[in-house]
Amino acid sequence: MTDKEELYETLGELIYVVAKADGIIQEKEVDALTKILENHPWASTIQWSFDYEVNRADDIDFVYKKVMDFCYQFGPTPEYHEFIDVMMEIADASDGIDKAEAKVISSFSRDLIDRFNRDIEKIKSQEDKE
């Protein structure tokens, strides 16, 4: 499995977290996902991962932590902007973005930024010691 494939599997997991954040995955959210994936180069990977999580029905906090652990290891990438856009589209598909969905979306951004800023500070600190 390539790094990109793993990254887009993570997007499928993240979509699951957002869609399930309000308690249930709604048909409008699934329809939005289908539309998003129509011409996406990683559509089958994203869909497989989303379906896998739906079938497992894991706790969304557990899946979110798994997503964040992968993203921390993967490091910064422009694809995270796409992830946020997709999460917003999925959340907005069912009568707008509710509080639980908005929390997941903002947490994803904040958690990544905080982590990467800490990593930068560690690097700067090590450079100052040298």
Q: Which domain holds residue 120?
A: 3-129
Query: Nearest-CA neighbor of 79 among 5, 29, 1?
Result: 5
What tens digit of pLDDT does each residue of 7-26 get? 999 999 999 999 999 888 99
b or e along 24-49 (b: 16 or more beta carbons within 10 Å of the residue's beta carbon)?
A: ebbeebbebbeebbeeeebbebbbeb
What 3-state class would DSSP assign to 130?
A: coil
Amino acid 13 reads: E
pLDDT tier at 127, thresholds 50, 70, 90: low
Instruction: Give the mean model confidence (pLDDT) for residues 49-60.
Output: 95
pLDDT of residue 23: 87
Which residues make Cβ contacts (< 8 Å) with residue 14, sequence separation at least 6? 64, 67, 83, 86, 87, 108
pLDDT of residue 5: 92
Count: domains in the chain: 1
In the chain, the percentage of residues whose pLDDT exceeds 90 is 59
Which residues make Cβ contacts (< 8 Å) with residue 75, sequence separation at least 6? 116
User: For the whole model, what pTM was predicted?
Assistant: 0.86
What tens digit of pLDDT does each residue of 75-99 get? 888 899 899 999 999 999 988 888 9
pLDDT tier at 52, thresholds 50, 70, 90: very high
